[in-house]
Structures are given as structure tokens and as C-alpha cells.
Amino acid sequence: MRVTDSDTDTGGDVQAYAYDVYTNPNPAGSNEGNGWYFSYGANHPFIKHIVTLSPTSGAHGVNTVHVTGSYKIQQTQEMAASDLHYRVGTDVDILSYRTFLDWQGTPTITETQPLRELTVDWVFSEKQVPQGTWVTITTEFIESSWNAISYHDVYFTYPDKKGDQLPYLAWQIETPLIEKAEAISNVTGGYVIGRFDVVDLQRPELPPVQYRLVHEYLYNQSPEFHVFTLSGSPGYLITNAVFGHSYGYPTVQELWRFENWMTKGREKYELGDKPLEIIIDWKGQLPYPEGDLGAE
């Protein structure tokens, strides 16, 4: 087994060690018991975990992408909510998923076949959601070569009634390919981070729904140009639509704290029959170092 070693230069940047069954406690370190240790030095260091990563195999190939939609709503009724329901999906195969709340509850998840949508029913048996409380629904999909996610039929229920349905929202981001991407030095993929708020025009006094998103683009797609498209329920206004960039995938906490916005859309967009479209143009702001485009 060979591992990179940033602390020791003897023998170069890649060190090679043999390992053996070491049946005595480490003489110079903690006693981790019998096991496989490196036969190196008095301390006989050991490997705690080994994880091998590889591209996705099978019909989907290597162009899978990670997409996140985080939908934040406030419970506005005087009566505490006992349940929360939503459908979340996309228009391509979902290879894996994670959907969760920042509130304690028990979910029942029903999958469509083929797997393109989840129906999720949360029961708050230990602690119901009181009036004025914000609850964030976050869903992460691994999708086959496409970034799109939609929320339908989002609503709280109460011990004696069903709550108001919150807006349907469906977005996608398209990113063009780069010609001869393999020839570009340090070429890599990255993530577009988005934010917008959703105001109910019939009840503008209600707090707006808040939304955050992550779109992954691949190494052979442009980091500097993207097209964001959003469809949703008529009668709602989109405000504070902004976009930024990250080369690392953010945690949910980092996503909601993100403030490095590079593109700001028009102040307001009304949802209706025609999807709204925002062009994200970062020309010259995220350039790759120049490579030899003639290289094979």
C-alpha cells in the first residue's frame, strides 16, 4: 500500500511501507490492540480507515451529478403542526438520495418506480411544530448527467385539519460543454450556489418561503456560464434571486450561510405560465489556466 506523505520527504512525495501483524501494544503510542500496523519506527502507525472511490459504472457512466434543493417554510397557524408532507423529484433517474429536516420527526418515504420522485410524510410525535417556527426541508439527489429538482404538495397538517399548500417549485440549471476540456491545465468541476425567496401575492403579509440550491457542473462544462430556469405555482413572486460559486460541495449549514454572490437577478419575477430564466455569466471571473488545446 502506498500513501502520500506531506510531512516526510525522505524517498520522495510518495512513501512505501510494508505492514505486518503487530501483536503487542504500541511501545511509543496508544494501545490500539492487536492488528495490522505499518512496520515502520517504534510506534508502528496503523490505518484507521481505507475508502476506495471509483466512477459510477453501468449505464449511467461517469457523468453523474449532485443536486441539492433546500426549502425553508414557516409554520404560521396558531395550532401546532403534527405532520409535514411533500413530494420531491426530478425528470431523470435518481441514483441515490437523502431528504431530511432540521426538526425531529419520523419520515415515511414512498418511491416511484423508476425512481424519479419521493413522497415524504413526516410525523412529529415527540414535539409538534409551534406557530412561528421555521422548518427547512433539504433534499440531495445523485442524478444521471442532469441537474433538476422539484417540490410539490408541500403542506403542514394539524390534529384536526390540513394546512395551506405551499408553492410548487421546479428548477434546473444548464451548463454548456467546454471544447477539448481534457487539454486544459487544472480543469475541474464545481458548484453553482443559488438563493431566492417566494412571496405569496394573495397574502403578502405572510413570511416568504426561502430557498437555497446547489448545482454541480462537471470538469468538461463551463464554470463561467449557466442558465437557471424556474417554474412554479402562479400567484407567487420571486425576489432576492442571487447566485455564487464554490469549488467545494457545501454542507447544509454552509449553504444557508453562503454570501459570496456574483450574480443578482432582477429584483422581482412573477411566476406564471412561462418559466423564468436567469443567465449566469461570469466571463473572466473563474478562468482556468491556459492549456495547450492542440495536445492529444
43 pLDDT exceeds 50?
yes
CA nearest to 157, candidates 103, 104, 82, 101:
82
Q: Is residue 58 part of a domain?
A: no
Evaluate whether residue 213 is within a structural domain: yes
Instruction: Let me know whether 94 and 241 are in one domain.
Output: yes
Kindly indicate the confidence band of residue 292, based on its pLDDT and cuts at 50, 70 and 90: very low
- Is 112 found in the same domain as 159? yes
Give the start-end residues of each E strand in the chain: 2-4, 14-16, 19-22, 35-38, 64-74, 83-89, 94-101, 106-111, 117-123, 134-144, 148-158, 161-162, 169-174, 190-200, 209-217, 225-232, 236-246, 261-264, 268-270, 276-281
Give this prediction's pTM: 0.78
Is residue 200 situated within a structural domain? yes
Is the residue at 218 inside a domain? yes
Residue 3 — very low, low, confident or very high, per pLDDT cuts 50/70/90?
low
Q: In whole angstroms, give the CA distance from residue 261 to residue 269.
A: 18
| Total number of domains constituting the chain | 2
Q: Are 87 and 118 in contact (CB under 8 A)?
A: yes
Dump pLDDT digits (tens) for 149-159: 999 999 999 99
108 & 136 share domain = yes
Considering the domain boundaries, does residue 59 fall inside one? no
Whether 272 maps to a domain, the answer reads yes
Q: Which of 109, 144, 112 is nearest to 123 (CA)?
A: 109
Domain-embedded: residue 214? yes
Domain, as residue range, for 124: 64-281
- Rounded to an integer, the average pLDDT of 108-130 is 96
